[in-house]
Chain A
Amino acid sequence: MPGIGLLGTMEMARNAMQTARQGAEVTGHNLANASNPAYSRQRVKIESAATIDTGKGPQGAGSRVSQFESIRNQLIEDQLVSENSVTGYLEIKQRALQQAEAALGQVIDRHTLNEGGDADQFGIAEGLTDFFSNLSALSASPTDNAERQNMVFSAQKLADKFNTVDRRLSSLRNSLNQEVQDLVDDLNMALNTVSRLSINIGKSEVSEVGKSNELRDQRQSALQDLAKLVNFNTSIGDEGGINVIINDTTFIDDNAIVDGFTAFTDTDSMVRLKSNADPKVITLTSGLLQGAIDARDITIKDLQDNVNNLAKELVTAVNDGYDTGPVPTSGLIAHYPMKGNANEATGNGTNGTVTGATLTTDRAYRAERAYSFDGSSDYITTSTLNVTGSFSVAGWVKISSSASSEANAMFNQGSEEIAINIHKDGKIGFQVGGTDTNLLTSTGQFSADEWVHVVSSWDGTTGKVYINGTKNTESTTGSGSTALHNPSAGTGYIGKAVDVGKWDFNGSIADIRVYDRALTDKEVDQLHEVKAVVGHKDGKALDGTTGQDFFTGTDANNIAVNQTLMDNPSKVQAAGPSTTDEPGDNGVVLGLSRLSDSKLGVLSDMTASENFSYLTSKFGQELSLVNTQTEEQEAVTRLLTRQRDAISGVSIDEEIANLMIYQRAFQASAKLISTMDSLMRDVISLR
């Protein structure tokens, strides 16, 4: 008989029952893993069994299970993995920045009970306003010891707040350091897990019959865990295994782990990562580790640096005094502020070398803010200033009444290529382009023994001399026969001409600035209008003593009020620096109280309070951005998870329905067996 025969049919039925049973088993497996988030649902793939060749064509011989199929979409899985890196990065960064915000401790409380008085919430902003307020109150009654004590205490409160904020931010950076260290261990473990699972997958699939779905599910989960820590790329290796590459360095090559991570401490005591096999610093772009590193080294460090800068400049301004702004900065090629030394402040030129000149007080009686020249051998050498076109030279000079009546050089470049000379009869000589090009003002423009502001500018055609902010003389020609012209470069001197013993300055010079362009009239006026405000160090206490700093320390970490003043507030040097100022004077404390309104160049042309509110809001923006990004990331992750779940998730209703299908199929096949069995009996009982 053609066909598969009775026994064949029974076998076919038996196979069908097996198929249905396996189907039910897989359904059961799905149901058991319904709540497993890493699980991808599986299906039995049922195919027709091999056909039998009959004389009348091929005849089907039942069904068989060809494979167990795992339903997953690799694209969505890969996207989930890479998004997990971003999630990890943002999560840790958000947490760290929120802690930093709490460390900064600046909040708004609208329910302050004491209107106009001390705020209930005390941040650095309140500390600054209280301090300046108390300075102002003291200026109205400078000898009042109660006001002095009040002011000193409010200063200490501010200093304490700086210390606390800095300490908390340092501690936060340290704990992030520790976290990076700990995460490196997790990272190496995660790499090992991926490698181990991949090897096992390879081993179990070596027969190439079907995929090892459970192991693949586990590996996908392990890849997601790894992604949360670092961002990486995967590719298929030469032998079909998986490669994991981080920052162009291969860590897993064809399933085998070939490299690992080590934490090391850099020169700033910050923990970083490097690879082991070929040690080099690894830069990541995403993941928990990079999130911690970025928070630690960029955002939180910026915040801490900005707070430190504010504290440092506050200490300097209060102790040493400050200059009000604004001043022209564009084109400034050399600046000698003469603050305790002849250093060059812009970094463009070299520091001045002092020969014989000594430090003295400036026009505001601030100690060591100007140089004094003796008229015979004192000078300062500046760098070679290559001023060969337009330029301006500005500065303060005080010529002595005992100076010689000839030219006293304020500034000289090269062999009189540029020469600015002060005469004690009140005139100024300005040479541009060598001897015989002297532009002279008239006499009597200023007096000896008095500070005068002098600016000399050349724009390529016209030379101008400004005295005390106002233009005095301008001309294209000098008193000689040669017209003014562009100078040649050469060494610069403050206080003498190039030749020995010529034009030696007798008197004091302060704050020399050289620009590579001709300043405008307005800019010259700005420079002249700069007020030199005296700091605490140059003030006088009630008993006439002087020289004490108000703040000790150099930055937010160690700023504190001088203990001498804390112990005895009468030692606060509130009186002005002039020798005729008496204890009832308030010159210094009035100047310091006006610091609250003064925009300082070192604080990006902002007042102290503005600078603080700026750095607070800048940090707030960073955190606000991270918050927004985290929310967006959450939305993206939810969408991808839902999509993944739609494809790979187990639907209980669906599985129950499938179970019923397999149950019926099994029943049907069982019925077929009993039918065949009865046919068989019929055949056997044939006589």
Chain B
Amino acid sequence: MRVTANSFPMDLRNQMQDLMTKQAVLQRQAATGQRISKPSDDPRAMRRVLDINTEMKALHQYRGNLTKVKEYTDVAYGSVSALKKISDRASEIATMADDTRGPVYMKAFAQEVNQMIEETVRVANGKHRNVFMFSGTKTTTAPYEVTRTGGKITAANYEGNAKIIQADVAEFSSVPVNFLGEGAQGIIKNTTTGSDFIANLISLRDNLEANDTTSIKNTNLVNLQKDETNFITHFSNIGAIQSRLETSDAITMKRLDALDPLVSQAADVDLAQTLVRLNEIQNSYTAALQTGARLLQTSLLDYVR
């Protein structure tokens, strides 16, 4: 094919344009470490990466929820621990309050139990992050409203409700977020087992004041045992939830670890390979410039006299 005055420079120009374009692409890949950054770079890979990123973000959020719920369960566990300590002491007192003690002792015991009632109500009305912990979903209302006579608590009315809310900690997996003071699985008053801690303490105090050791032995001690069982059940429930949360967290972490390489596979560039190719193309570019320059200069005109 004839090579004319224009065709050779045009070819050279096209080759240089191509090489420069390739260099620019490789340099960008090396600088960002990414094979693709825009949808048109590789539409299928882009879609895959976006979908995986969505999943990863959701998994991170599940972990965030997990942490929050773990926090609530820790606080609930602490409250139940405090209540169990009170119940242990109440049982001790109820055991010791037999006919061998005189009225002075009984009065002293009554006073101690009175303080325990106040403490129990305080724990039950506890707040965490400015919401009441044990009133179900009526989180702006204190669970227990007390009535007093002569300064002493004579009754505690439950003002909360029995609604438990759930939070998602994994896809299709949710855990309860709040606890009930009173309900089928209530902490203070469990309507399934019949235990009612505050009412029980009030009854114990009144019986101590009245020196009614029979009722204390036949009723209060029995009921206190029910309360203790309730608290222990709640310990194990909360423990079970926490264990479930930990397992869920571990699984989520594993899933996150598995997803990141998938994104890397789709979007990242092999730096070593890219640098080698960049080097090759730079060499080609330099060679094209040198040879082109030499050929461009000579023509017949240089040799005709």
Contacts of B292 in A (CB 8 A): none
1/0 contact string of B156-179 vs chain A (CB within 8 Å)? 000001010111100100100110
Contacts of B174 in A (CB 8 A): 590
Q: Is there contact, CB below 8 Å, between B3 and A583? A: no
B32 within 8 A of A: yes
1/0 contact string of B57-76 vs chain A (CB within 8 Å)? 11011111100110000000
Shortest A119–chain B CB gap in Å is: 8
A129 within 8 A of B: yes
Shortest B110–chain A CB gap in Å is: 37
A313 within 8 A of B: no
Contacts of B42 in A (CB 8 A): 620, 624
A645 within 8 A of B: yes
Q: Is there contact, CB below 8 Å, between B137 and A584? A: yes
Q: How far is the CA of A585 from the CA of B264 in the complex (A)?
A: 40
Q: How far is the CA of A620 from the CA of B42 in the complex (A)?
A: 7
A14 within 8 A of B: no
Q: Is there contact, CB below 8 Å, between A129 and B54? A: yes
Chain A, 117-139, CB within 8 A of any chain B CB: 117, 125-126, 128-130, 132-133, 136-137, 139
Q: Is there contact, CB below 8 Å, between B129 and A141? A: yes
Q: Is there contact, CB below 8 Å, between B4 and A645? A: yes
B47 within 8 A of A: yes
1/0 contact string of A531-565 vs chain B (CB within 8 Å)? 00000000000100000000000000000000000
B147 within 8 A of A: no
1/0 contact string of A553-586 vs chain B (CB within 8 Å)? 0000000000000000000000100001111111
Partner of B50, one of A97, A110, A616, A649: A616
Contacts of A593 in B (CB 8 A): 168
Q: Is there contact, CB below 8 Å, between A108 and B46? A: yes
Q: How far is the CA of A575 from the CA of B136 in the complex (A)?
A: 13
Partner of A584, one of B51, B65, B140, B301: B140
Contacts of A117 in B (CB 8 A): 60
Binds B, one of A16-24, A230-238, A653-661: A653-661
B271 within 8 A of A: no
Smallest CB-CB separation from A109: which chain B residue? Answer: B37
Q: Is there contact, CB below 8 Å, between B51 and A609? A: yes
B242 within 8 A of A: no
Specify which of B1, B10, B47, B49 lies most central, judged by the most chain A CB atoms within 10 Å of its CB.
B47
Q: How far is the CA of A3 from the CA of B241 in the complex (A)?
A: 126
Q: How far is the CA of A619 from the CA of B41 in the complex (A)?
A: 11
Query: Are A111 and B6 CB-contacts (below 8 A) given A585-B137, A613-B51?
Result: no
Shortest A571–chain B CB gap in Å is: 15
Contacts of A55 in B (CB 8 A): none
Partner of B38, one of A620, A638, A646: A620
Chain A, 630-687, CB within 8 A of any chain B CB: 638, 641-643, 645-647, 649-653, 656-657, 660
Smallest CB-CB separation from B50: which chain A residue? Answer: A613
Q: Is there contact, CB below 8 Å, between A646 and B304? A: no
B5 within 8 A of A: yes
Contacts of B47 in A (CB 8 A): 613-614, 616-617
Q: Is there contact, CB below 8 Å, between B58 and A586? A: no
Q: How far is the CA of A143 from the CA of B14 in the complex (A)?
A: 66
Partner of A111, one of B32, B41, B61: B32
A286 within 8 A of B: no
Partner of A612, one of B6, B50, B135: B50
Contacts of B301 in A (CB 8 A): 652, 656
B299 within 8 A of A: yes
Q: Is there contact, CB below 8 Å, between B6 and A617? A: no
A28 within 8 A of B: no
Partner of B165, one of A142, A144, A617: A142
The majority secondary structure among interface residues of chain A is helix
Shortest B302–chain A CB gap in Å is: 10
Shortest B22–chain A CB gap in Å is: 12
Q: How far is the CA of A542 from the CA of B168 in the complex (A)?
A: 21
Q: Is there contact, CB below 8 Å, between B165 and A584? A: yes
Smallest CB-CB separation from A656: which chain B residue? Answer: B300
Query: Are A137 and B37 CB-contacts (below 8 A) given A144-B129, A584-B165, A649-B4?
Result: no
Q: How far is the CA of A141 from the CA of B168 in the complex (A)?
A: 12
Contacts of A125 in B (CB 8 A): 50, 53-54
Q: Is there contact, CB below 8 Å, between B39 and A623? A: yes
Smallest CB-CB separation from B269: which chain A residue? Answer: A110
B194 within 8 A of A: no
Query: Are A107 and B139 CB-contacts (below 8 A) given A621-B43, A646-B1?
Result: no
Shortest B12–chain A CB gap in Å is: 12
Shortest B298–chain A CB gap in Å is: 10
A435 within 8 A of B: no
Q: How far is the CA of A132 from the CA of B65 in the complex (A)?
A: 13
Query: Are A110 and B32 CB-contacts (below 8 A) given A582-B161, A590-B166, A609-B51?
Result: yes
Contacts of A106 in B (CB 8 A): 39, 50
Q: Is there contact, CB below 8 Å, between A584 and B131? A: yes
Smallest CB-CB separation from A144: which chain B residue? Answer: B129
Contacts of A35 in B (CB 8 A): 5-6
Q: How far is the CA of A101 from the CA of B40 in the complex (A)?
A: 8
Contacts of B7 in A (CB 8 A): 642, 645-646, 649
Chain B, 85-143, CB within 8 A of any chain A CB: 129, 131, 135-140
Smallest CB-CB separation from A586: which chain B residue? Answer: B165
Q: How far is the CA of A116 from the CA of B135 in the complex (A)?
A: 33
Q: How far is the CA of A609 from the CA of B58 in the complex (A)?
A: 11
Query: Are A583 and B137 CB-contacts (below 8 A) given A610-B51, A638-B14?
Result: yes
Contacts of A143 in B (CB 8 A): 131, 139-140
Q: Is there contact, CB below 8 Å, between B10 and A641? A: yes
A205 within 8 A of B: no
Q: Is there contact, CB below 8 Å, between A37 and B6? A: yes
Shortest A69–chain B CB gap in Å is: 16
Q: Is there contact, CB below 8 Å, between A137 and B304? A: no
Query: Are A650 and B136 CB-contacts (below 8 A) given A116-B56, A132-B58?
Result: no
Q: How far is the CA of A652 from the CA of B56 in the complex (A)?
A: 65
Chain B, 264-305, CB within 8 A of any chain A CB: 264, 267-268, 299-301, 304
Query: Are A590 and B168 CB-contacts (below 8 A) given A617-B44, A646-B7, A649-B5?
Result: yes
Contacts of A620 in B (CB 8 A): 38-43, 46
Contacts of A618 in B (CB 8 A): 43
Q: Is there contact, CB below 8 Å, between A34 and B129? A: no
A104 within 8 A of B: yes
Contacts of A98 in B (CB 8 A): 40
B2 within 8 A of A: yes
B11 within 8 A of A: yes
Smallest CB-CB separation from A115: which chain B residue? Answer: B60
Shortest B76–chain A CB gap in Å is: 14
1/0 contact string of B219-249 vs chain A (CB within 8 Å)? 0000000000000000000000000000000
1/0 contact string of B8-29 vs chain A (CB within 8 Å)? 0011001000000000000000
A596 within 8 A of B: yes
Chain B, 149-208, CB within 8 A of any chain A CB: 161, 163, 165-168, 171, 174, 177-178
Smallest CB-CB separation from A597: which chain B residue? Answer: B171
Smallest CB-CB separation from B141: which chain A residue? Answer: A582
A72 within 8 A of B: no
Q: Is there contact, CB below 8 Å, between B5 and A651? A: yes
Q: How far is the CA of A650 from the CA of B3 in the complex (A)?
A: 9
Query: Are A652 and B5 CB-contacts (below 8 A) given A140-B69, A585-B163, A616-B50?
Result: yes
Query: Are A616 and B39 CB-contacts (below 8 A) given A583-B137, A594-B168?
Result: yes
Q: Is there contact, CB below 8 Å, between A582 and B4? A: no
Contacts of B32 in A (CB 8 A): 110-111
Known: A584-B137, A590-B168; 18 extra A-B contacts, CB below 8 A, are A108-B34, A117-B60, A125-B54, A129-B57, A140-B167, A143-B140, A580-B163, A584-B135, A584-B165, A590-B166, A594-B168, A614-B47, A624-B42, A642-B1, A646-B7, A651-B2, A652-B301, A653-B300
23 A-B pairs within 8 Å (CB atoms) are namely A34-B6, A35-B5, A101-B38, A101-B39, A108-B34, A110-B264, A111-B33, A116-B57, A117-B60, A126-B53, A129-B57, A130-B57, A140-B177, A141-B68, A143-B139, A609-B51, A616-B47, A620-B42, A623-B40, A638-B14, A645-B7, A649-B7, A650-B4
